[in-house]
Amino acid sequence: MTPAHGKSNIPRMSPDNGQRHVVVVGGGFAGVGCVRRLARDDHVRVTLLDRHNYHQFQPLLYQVATSQLAPSDIAFSLRKLFRDAPGVDVRLGEVASIDPAAKTVVTADGTRITGDAVVLAAGSQPNFFRTPGASEHALPLYSLDDARALRSRVLGVFEDAARDPALVDQGALNFVVVGGGPTGVETAGALADLIHETMSAEYHDLVVSAAQVHLVDLGHTLLAPFSDRAHDYVAKVLSRRGVRIHLGVAVSEVGPGHVRLGDGSTIRTRCVVWGGGIMAPPLAAAAGLPRGRGGRIDVGPDLAVPGFEGVYAIGDVANIPAPDGGTHPQLGSVALQSGTSAAENILADAAGRQRKPFHYHDKGIMAMIGRGAAIAEVGPHRHELHGVVAFSAWLGVHAMLMSGVRNRVDAFITWGWDYFTKARGPQVLDEPDAARIDWGDDAAPDPAAAAVP
């Protein structure tokens, strides 16, 4: 074992059995997909690093945020996932930088881990597009911590308003969701359901009907990748549930107690959800690799980083070339499949075989709009489904996605039908810091601002 520079070192090759060592950064869909495939090969051992000891199922974060699921329903222990894979070593750690030429990963505490191959699967982070006040006052929805913070804020504003009903007139029960993509639409629909189905029954002395969900997007449609018919359906379902939709207008500023829109109007609120976009995480820049759109790492069709032998980037952190000349979207299914494909190519490298280009099997796109309402475009001809049928398709595709990281999907399917038919889950205010906000100057209304009526 040759010690390397730094605090500790894992050798490239295990001296006793000659296994190849692969270092994977990130235990999301992409990282788990990659490690699952590598774990089936006795000639490979893997070190999987993540800042959390769990995999988080992001498509259901909004359900934690709106008290439909508990955090533990969508977080799976990485060690448990690989308990039957003796060649997989799971490590908890923040990766700070990478030396791609040496195929070495450096953690925040200075540990250096060197492999025969390095796979970057570090996902994304929210993009606030430099909107003043957004990173300080808006709540993103990208991680389990975000979802718990948002849940506490939502429950916290109801508690505050119940204690001091005068706050309602100051917009305390206004919820503003920024972004008309799947995250924004799903969150707005679920918030509206929470208000009308649950809060109205549980806050007896509060005028819950004063609560209002606003959905804001700069574009002119919701769920832009879907058809025009789907756009109409989504807008109709949300409006029927009381969501106020503001299209073609940007959020120009977020304050502790308000959102200002590009048309000069202001919405008073204590809860702004940011579903406005994603970008590459800081590690993509720290890796010293070629980067393109969104700050993501540019890879070749085989998912390897050109010019850096043995270095791969997969999932959200990578710009993965698509057949139409663009890049594949940041989706769980792309991430999972790219993980498996990168693993196959790493095994091909080891066996001296030719790498294969990544081929994405597109099963469709879909979004939940609220209880019992979903929209899906499935199959090669993008057959469009609405309502119950779309919900069933949504369930099937997400069960498949979950089965990529977890062996048993029955619990998920049971939950799905419960969700469709029954009442809400845990309303736990367990992040008091996130629930509490300092109104600052927003405690007094701004007389110059035109309020959204």
Ligand X SMILES: Cc1cc2nc3c(=O)[nH]c(=O)nc-3n(C[C@H](O)[C@H](O)[C@H](O)COP(=O)(O)OP(=O)(O)OC[C@H]3O[C@@H](n4cnc5c(N)ncnc54)[C@H](O)[C@@H]3O)c2cc1C
C-alpha dihedral sign at 169, 440, 133, 145: negative
Cβ partners under 8 Å of residue 445, min gap 6: 170, 268, 451
Which is nearer to ligand X, 8 or 17 (by Cβ)?
8
Q: Hunting for tokens 């489904």 — which residue is that?
A: 385
Burial letters 224-236, b for 16+ CB under 10 A, else e: eebeeebbebbbe
> Phi and psi of 30, rounded to 5°?
-65, -50
Contact characters 181-220, ligand X, x per CB under 6 A: -xx-------------------------------------
Q: How far apart are CA 436 and CA 156, in angstroms?
A: 7
Q: Hunting for tokens 């879909």 — which residue is that?
A: 366
Contact characters 49-78, ligand X, x per CB under 6 A: xxxx-----xx-xx----------------
Phi-psi region at 118: left, alpha or beta (left = phi > 0; alpha = psi -120 to 50): beta
Q: Which helix (H) or strand (E) holds 25?
A: strand 20-25
C-beta nearest to ligand X: residue: 28
Helix boundaries (H) for 60-127: 61-65, 78-81
Question: Which of 39, 30, 23 lies closest to 338, judged by CA?
Answer: 30
Check residue 234 for interaction with ligand X (CB under 6 A): no
Candidate list 138, 141, 311, 405; residue touching ligand X; CB under 6 A: 141
Check residue 376 for interaction with ligand X (CB under 6 A): no
Contact 113, 99 (CB under 8 A): no
Cβ at position 345, least distance to ligand X in Å: 17
Check residue 133 for interaction with ligand X (CB under 6 A): no
Check residue 331 for interaction with ligand X (CB under 6 A): yes
| CA 235 to the chain's CA centroid | 23
Check residue 416 for interaction with ligand X (CB under 6 A): no
Q: In the annotation, is 186 catalytic?
A: yes
Candidate list 5, 7, 94, 292; residue touching ligand X; CB under 6 A: 94
* Structure token pair of residue 268: 């008073």
Restricting to residues 101-120, which ones interact with ligand X according to CB under 6 A? none
| Amino acid, res. 452 | V
Q: How far apart are CA 29 and CA 64, in angstroms?
A: 19
Which residue stretch of 13-21, 131-139, 193-201, 326-334 sits at the interface with ligand X (rule: CB under 6 A)? 326-334
Candidate list 152, 266, 269, 333; residue touching ligand X; CB under 6 A: 333
Check residue 281 for interaction with ligand X (CB under 6 A): yes
Contact 370, 191 (CB under 8 A): no
* 3-class DSSP state of 78: helix
Candidate list 26, 71, 133, 425; residue touching ligand X; CB under 6 A: 26
Check residue 364 for interaction with ligand X (CB under 6 A): no
Check residue 341 for interaction with ligand X (CB under 6 A): no
Contact 330, 340 (CB under 8 A): no
Cβ at position 275, least distance to ligand X in Å: 7
Check residue 31 for interaction with ligand X (CB under 6 A): yes
Which is nearer to ligand X, 101 or 285 (by Cβ)?
285
Number of H helices, E strands in the chain: 14, 27
Check residue 128 for interaction with ligand X (CB under 6 A): no
Which residue stretch of 7-15, 67-75, 218-226, 332-340 sits at the interface with ligand X (rule: CB under 6 A)? 332-340
Cβ at position 262, least distance to ligand X in Å: 24
Candidate list 87, 100, 115, 123; residue touching ligand X; CB under 6 A: 123
Check residue 369 for interaction with ligand X (CB under 6 A): no
Candidate list 63, 319, 330, 340; residue touching ligand X; CB under 6 A: 330
Cβ partners under 8 Å of residue 161, min gap 6: 167, 168, 172, 173, 206
Q: How far apart are CA 238 and CA 189, in angstroms?
A: 6
Which is nearer to ligand X, 167 or 286 (by Cβ)?
286
* 3-class DSSP state of 407: coil
Which is nearer to ligand X, 237 or 331 (by Cβ)?
331
Which is nearer to ligand X, 342 or 452 (by Cβ)?
342
Interface size with ligand X, residues (CB under 6 A): 35
Cβ at position 384, least distance to ligand X in Å: 17
Catalytic residue among 94, 136, 159, 186: 186
Check residue 289 for interaction with ligand X (CB under 6 A): no
Restricting to residues 246-275, which ones interact with ligand X according to CB under 6 A? none
Cβ at position 300, least distance to ligand X in Å: 18
Q: How far apart are CA 98 and CA 119, in angstroms?
A: 11
Q: How far apart are CA 345 and CA 124, in angstroms?
A: 23
Q: Which residues are catalytic?
A: 186
**Residues in the site for ligand X, rule: CB under 6 A?**
25-31, 49-52, 58-59, 61-62, 94-95, 121-124, 141-142, 182-183, 281, 283, 315-317, 330-333, 335
